[in-house]
Amino acid sequence: MNLENYFPVLLFLIIGTVVGVASQLLGRVVGPHRPDAAKLSPYECGFEAFEDARMKFDVRYYLVAILFILFDLETAFFFPWGVSMRELGWQAFVTMMVFIAEFIVGFWYIWKKGALDWE
């Protein structure tokens, strides 16, 4: 394995980091900094806060959010599979059917456990 092949990647990371840091520093140095009472207020909606910002959320909110991300990422595999189906052949078809079966079993499991119920 030749490390010289990774030089463009390293160069890209260095340039990206320099551009990101430089733009942040340039904005901090050159940009106006005139805070007033309205800018320093915690809310911009026009009225004072009436509850604590650290209120507790129901754990089901996070569970549904994580399950959405999980199933959304799993469905992202369907598009490339469908596009390249003819080149991949029957082995890929069978593999994807196994994946879809696992997908359905997982969805059925979380449904029966009540993870998607919102009262």
How far lies 10's CA from each of 2, 16, 22, 41, 104, in Å? Answer: 14, 10, 18, 42, 41
Q: Could you please report the per-residue DSSP string of 43-99? A: --SSS---S-TTPPPPHHHHHHHHHHHHHHHHHTTHHHHHHTHHHH-HHHHHHHHHH
User: In terms of Cα–Cα distance, which of 7, 13, 115 is closest to 71?
Assistant: 115
Domain locations along the chain: 59-112
Q: What is the pLDDT of residue 10?
A: 94
What is the Cα–Cα distance from 47 to 45, expressed in whole angstroms? 6
Q: CB of 27 within 8 A of CB of 20? A: no
Q: What is the pLDDT of residue 53?
A: 64
Q: What is the pLDDT of residue 105?
A: 93
User: For each of the chain's 119 residues, which pLDDT tens digit applies?
Assistant: 687 889 999 999 999 999 999 999 999 999 888 888 777 776 656 566 666 667 777 777 788 888 888 888 888 888 888 888 888 888 888 988 998 898 889 889 988 988 777 76
Q: What is the pLDDT of residue 36?
A: 81
